[in-house]
Amino acid sequence: MPVLTAAMVPLLVTKGRSARRDDAVPARFKPGDQIVAKVMSPLTHTRLPRYVRGRRGVIERDHGVFVFPDTNALFAGPHPQHVYNVRFSARELWGPEGAATDAIYIDLWDSYLDRA
């Protein structure tokens, strides 16, 4: 795989490829499943926000299979996996100060999640 150069950026922005994959990767979760976001502190970049680590949420939607950016950015392979939309209640994240009716929704890769 070639290294991305500045000259390549305009072409990728206008004609870039999707990170979606057709790989037959089984889904571990389905809408309604309760999960807990993993507690992890990798030395490299991750797209798992610190404020949801260790917190419980509910799978809202399965977006399908996508390249895992944490490994792909390091040239360690695409490791395709499902990306789920996860609902976290405001009270789960911020305690009683969070409004009872508020929630945030975050798209998270399968390997960031465990069954609650």
Give the model confidence (pLDDT) of 57-73 as tens digits.
999 999 999 999 999 88
Q: What pTM was computed for the model?
A: 0.84
CA–CA distance, 25 with 33 (Å, rounded to integer): 18
Give the model confidence (pLDDT) of 45-54 as tens digits.
899 999 999 9
Domains observed in the chain = 6-115 (2.30.30.50)
